[in-house]
A and B are shown apart, each in its own frame.
Chain A
Amino acid sequence: MLRAILRDMRAHPGRISMTLVAIVLGVAFVVATWVVSDSAAETVGNANSRTDLAARVSSPRDTELTAAERDRLAALPGVQRAIGVLIGHSSVVQADGKLGDTYWPGEGGTNWDSSARFTLASGRGPESGGEVALEQEAAADAGLTVGSSAKVLNADGEPTTMTVVGIFSYRKAGASEVSPAVAYDPATAAARLGSAFAWIDLYGTDQTQIASAASGALGSGFDVRTGAELAVQRQQQADEEAQLVRNFLLAFAGVALLAGMFVIANTFTMLVAQRTRHFALLRAVGARRRQVRRAVLAEAAVLGLVGATIGVALGIGLGWLTMEIIPTTGEAVVFAVSPMAPLVGYLVGVLVTVVAAYGSARRGAAVAPVAALGTDAALPKRSLVIRTVAGCVAMSAGVVAVVATSGPALTDAKRAVGMAGALTGWLAVILLAPLLASAVLIPLSRLVSRRGSAVSRLAVRNAIRDPRRTAATASALMIGLALVTAFATVGASLTSYITGAIETDVPADTLIVQSAQGFSSISPTLVEKVRAVSGVDSVASPTESFAEFTHQGREYHNTITALEADSLGRALTPVIEAGRADLTQGVLVSSADAKEQGISLGDTLTINGVTAPVVGLYGESEILHGIVVNKTLLPPDPKSYLGAVYVSGASRSALDAAFADRPDIVVLDRAGLLAEYTEPLDLALGIIYALLAAAVIIAVFGVVNTLALSVLERTREIGVFRAVGATRSLVRRSVRRESVVIATYGGLLGVGVGILLGGVMQHVIIGTPIFDLTIPKIVVAGALGGMIVVGVLAALWPARRAARTDILAAIATA
């Protein structure tokens, strides 16, 4: 029995290889994503750790660690070397004259030493006052190499020009260490960073002895850790980071897996369908149902095993290639294959194939023996009733969950239910895809029948001939595309939300002065400097602190924003929903807070001993938070958070000139401010799109597979088509159009589902109504246009195959 099946497999190498290709690709992409997440996690985990320390002494209290302590420690028995590490404010000026925002300037400078903290990538360590070594990413950001002169800022804000003599990568020990950007020679470091060490590293062989000697020598009040303890801490931290990376990437491996499952299952179903006559013949000559079923399953297992083996190997290779291609700065890329990667690969390959084969095997075994005799042997048609019912139930459940949580007041539970509802709906669309295929394509077919050419008519009809097959093919495409569109919708909605919020608060001609380090706090002294710029009409410096206030005898906490009274309506234009924007008469409260804390217009609030009436309520704002008070009424503490100064009236060039000597301060216009908000979002979306590409690529191969197998199945039809006068190019065209129809259907499903999914996601994230979404026009157009291209490309090979069909073999009566 098995031999008969194996023979039959060998007799049709084309079909077998198509199935294998589907399994191999499905497995390969899943394994590759897995390998990439393993490797990325390991890279993050291993990145730049060092274990050469014997012990580290730090002072968590206010006791200073100085050269005196260092020398005492160095003299301890077993200590070969004691290095005091200075950490202080330093940052590198970039080519545009401003500071970059990659490094935290507060811990950006350190003293060079010959320990394993530094690994030189090029050049040498700094030896004199005019020299610095730069961390390689910092150097790359600033466009500096060995030999260039760098402008380096320390805490006093004055830039010093120094020569770059070395580029290093930094190794950390322990959990809290941050990579510095600049290293000075010891004397310069002491002059620029102060004399108190952040910690002292001790080197030697016996860690415990050195640690206990250090504790003994310094007494309590100092924190002493052995190198081993630090390594554990560091590893824990690295593992946590790695786990985040892994989980993020595995989510995408899961998506690729889902798409792969569809493609494999669909291909195997087609494979079995094409051998109906063979099964019928076996049944006719006496094979029992169970025998046919078993043989098909055995075949699936063999194919799965072979496909998975090739797929795992290919996937590992693909993963390696990806890790090689991914641009990294400095970090040594680790290529890691955990045992889970091949395991998942085999599981996917064998399990999915066998499960997919199970249904087909049952139907294959159910073929009536007489089918062997007919010219048109076909599998018994599967009813779509169960699937449709399941789909409708899932869809209703999803819609109910989404509608129930569509209100503006969102709790975490509601968010979870809403999201689960959206995903259930997504699943429902997959279940309903065959029905939808008919619903969408039958009207199209009618239209084409009336208007189109014979070729288009055939193409569309072929596409809806087996709605299940078309649906499975399109669903695989839909999975990746829906997620791409959903994320794009979230991105577009967030962007337009933020844009809307900022554009209402900040007039188009207002300029913004803020820290070069993004949203870091800036010094309040800058406000006067801004005011002194010629032409300035109004200045807003919303300064935030968290404070207690009393309202009707009860105490509350909220953000208090101190603001210049005359800036409202000029430098800043928040929406006033009730009352007046007159800070000279009282305070403004955000509508949302007012509602939450039961504050109404005219109520009096007591803040830090000052009592003032509420004169206005302002709408949702990205710039003003909590209770807005007149700066003269409640002058803010100089340490309060001042994110940006908003200026009206001044020209860009005047402001730029005023801060030309301040690399730590940038001047932005409104568009620049918007970019600060949206750029990180765009970057994240770019990464997500790239990761979803695997799922889309698998699905594209699924289209190729479906077409190729369909073409094989229709050899006779193509023969007749050719005999009555269709040229080869017409045959090619009809396959191509069929492919475009299937791919476009997948695209439409994906985009449609994606937009709705994205609508729910943005609702869950920012609480706006579901249909208040922004359609990501470029992504949608790209997805649909891309699907047409995919359709054409996927058809290349199957269409050629179809055109080569031997007319005589096709029409011969066999």
Chain B
Amino acid sequence: MTISNAAVRAASLTKVYGEGDARVVALDGVDVSFRRGELTAIMGPSGSGKSTLMHCVAGLDRATSGQAWVGDVELTGLADDALTMLRRDRIGFVFQAFNLLPTLNAWENITLPLDLAGKRVDRAFADVVIDAVGLRDRLGHRPSQLSGGQQQRVACARALISKPDVVFADEPTGALDSHSSAELLGFLRRSVVELGQTVVMVTHDPTAASYADRVVHLADGRIVSEQLATVGGA
């Protein structure tokens, strides 16, 4: 595995919460890299540090020690504004719930990262993304007028619209029924295959993990295994 092949990389990443009795080591010297153009699933039991890992490599939180890179940018030491720009321009996010701004309609939510960057929307690419998530007739709707599955798909479209280096999804299907889950996962999968997108997805659901190219297992803040998955099989 070469560095150029990694979209995101972490070296000896450690995250400690609290002090004294309340001290929790959420990440314990994690070395990991997520490859370009692949869908990587991070799996592990609840409390194993999956979200923490994602937050630290996505520039949402700062590690206690160790390093993390997105592409060739090292995150540790970046100021808040620089981290924010990085998230805006090079990272896409899908959270478990509450992904969207309630006052913006679907289209405005999708294009929000571009709006914030003051960039023009690439209409052709936007069409591709919107058709892929199947939201063309819902673009004028507010989040409150959309179902949970539709809301998550809007979040996915938003994550992709800026053609980021990597999309992070933290339990994106956690609040969805199985049908909507399958739709969403299918969509993430296609974004990797058809658009060459890099996706890192946190999940504890084996069904979800089965959409991945590669699965990284975490337990007690450490990587316990890393394996190729049988793509597309459930």
Contact = CB atoms under 8 A, between A and B. Distances in A.
A721 interface: yes
Interface string A695-717: 00000000000000000000011
Contacts of B100: 720
A458 B103 contact: yes
A14 to B, nearest CB: 21
Given A453-B115, A461-B104, A808-B60, A725 B95 contact: no
A376 B143 CA distance: 12
Contacts of A4: none
Contact of A728 (B80, B89, B115, B116): B80
Interface residues of A, number: 27
B74 interface: no
B87 interface: yes
Main SS of chain A's interface residues?
helix
Given A725-B84, A726-B84, A727-B85, A375 B98 contact: yes
A807 interface: yes
Contact of B116 (A454, A461, A465, A717): A454
A332 interface: no
Interface in B69-117: 80-81, 84-85, 87-89, 93, 95-104, 108, 112-113, 115-117
B99 A728 contact: no
A725 B113 contact: yes
A416 interface: no
Contact of A461 (B55, B95, B103): B103
B96 A722 contact: no
A782 to B, nearest CB: 32
A567 interface: no
A728 B175 CA distance: 29
Contacts of A724: 87-88, 93, 112-113, 116, 158
B105 to A, nearest CB: 9
A375 B158 CA distance: 21
B96 A813 contact: yes
B97 A723 contact: no
B31 interface: no
B66 interface: no
Contacts of B61: 807-808
Contacts of B29: none
Nearest to A806: B61
A453 B111 CA distance: 11
A480 to B, nearest CB: 29
B49 to A, nearest CB: 14
Contacts of B97: 375, 813
Contacts of A723: 60, 87, 93, 95
A462 interface: yes
A15 interface: no
Contacts of B175: 375, 813
A151 interface: no
B84 A727 contact: yes
Contacts of A728: 80-81, 84
B85 A717 contact: no
A457 interface: yes
Contacts of B89: 725
B187 to A, nearest CB: 18
A462 B101 CA distance: 10
B47 to A, nearest CB: 13
A726 B112 CA distance: 9
Interface in A700-754: 716-717, 720-730
A351 B232 CA distance: 66
A811 interface: yes
A729 B116 CA distance: 12
A725 B87 contact: yes
A811 B98 contact: yes
Contacts of A717: 101-102
Contacts of A449: 108
Nearest to A461: B103
A376 B89 CA distance: 29
Contacts of A720: 95, 98-101
Given A376-B98, A725-B112, A808-B60, 13 more contacts: A453-B115, A454-B108, A454-B116, A457-B104, A458-B101, A720-B95, A720-B101, A724-B158, A725-B87, A725-B116, A726-B84, A726-B116, A808-B55
12 contacts: A375-B98, A454-B116, A461-B104, A462-B103, A465-B103, A716-B98, A723-B60, A725-B112, A727-B80, A728-B81, A730-B116, A813-B97
Interface of A: 375-376, 449, 453-454, 457-458, 461-462, 465, 716-717, 720-730, 807-808, 811, 813
The 7 nearest A-B residue pairs measured at CB = A725-B88, A454-B115, A461-B103, A727-B84, A813-B96, A725-B116, A727-B81
